[in-house]
Amino acid sequence: MRILLIEDHVELSRWLAKALRDAHWTVECAMNGADADSLLHTQQYALAILDLTLPKMDGLEVLKRLRARGSKMPVLILTARGGVQDRVQGLNLGADDYLAKPFELAELEARVKALLRRAQGSEELIYSCAALRFDTVSRMFTYGGTVLALTPREHAVLEVLITRAGRVVSKEKLFDEVFSLADDANPDAIEIYIHRLRKKLANGQAGHVAITTLRGLGYLLEAQAA
């Protein structure tokens, strides 16, 4: 899932982006309102974290334009402007949640998870395919009851596949969910992570899962007979 972090404070932006990536989300950053507005107009994101005091375009204007385009993407306002009037204005313009600075990282992550679950149209906390399980709260994968050790990119690829288990996911869709615009990569890089995941999922036990390639269509996560 790609998140757009819109924050003009360089150090805070770097710290937050790293924390969110460590929690296995793909994060892109915008340092001003004009760039954020352009990205939100041309790219697809699962969620935006939006500061209000931004150069070139105020955060509330970014939010207003986003909703005027009909986007229902969840927006979490994160700002030092924590007065009641600012909160009311932001929520009235279509923000889904509001967190004032300073804040605890754990609370931010919890709110992000809640907004993403709500946006998916359900409160499902566990996704499973045979012996493979993904807990959306802890953001951990287990396979046959054992925690699966994954790199951030492997985690992101497998998350997309398990939330669509039994359905084909195109290489382009995986690439869009896993890589940010700043990454120097192309869709063929997905094949590297699919190969690594297949090795980690190949154990031959009951409840075995596999990633099947359907040429010209994409990849399919499905249960396999032992």
Instruction: Sketch the domain layout of the chain as residue ranges.
Output: 2-119, 126-223
Rounded to whole angstroms, how far apart are CA atoms 53 and 47? 19
Pairing of the two strands 47-50 and 75-79? parallel
- Output the pLDDT for position 221: 92
Name the amino acid, one letter, at 86. Answer: D
For a pLDDT cut of 70, what percent of the chain falls above it? 91
Name the amino acid, one letter, at 216. Answer: G
Distances from the Cα of 34 to the Cα of 20, 57, 59, 120, angstroms = 23, 6, 9, 28
pLDDT single digits (tens) 61-111: 999 999 999 998 899 998 876 566 777 777 788 888 888 888 888 888 888
Rounded to whole angstroms, how far apart are CA atoms 159 and 165? 10
Tokens of 136: 């959306």
Rounded to whole angstroms, how far apart are CA atoms 176 and 43? 9
Contact between 61 and 33 under an 8 Å Cβ cutoff? The reply is: yes
- Output the pLDDT for position 43: 87
- What residues contact 109, with CB distance under 8 A and at least 6 apart? 19, 20, 23
Nearest to 94 by CA among 121, 123, 122, 115: 115
Identify the three-state secondary structure at position 6.
Answer: strand
Asked if the 2-119 domain carries CATH number 3.40.50.2300, the reply is yes
Residue spans of the chain under pLDDT 70? 81-84, 121-124, 180-183, 203-207, 225-226
Q: What angle do helix axes 59-68 and 84-92 make, rounded to 10 degrees?
A: 20
Q: Where are the alpha helices (DSSP H) in the chain?
A: 10-22, 33-42, 59-68, 84-92, 105-119, 152-162, 171-178, 190-201
Fold of 126-223: Arc Repressor Mutant, subunit A (1.10.10)
Rounded to whole angstroms, how far apart are CA atoms 130 and 223? 6
Identify the three-state secondary structure at position 39.
Answer: helix
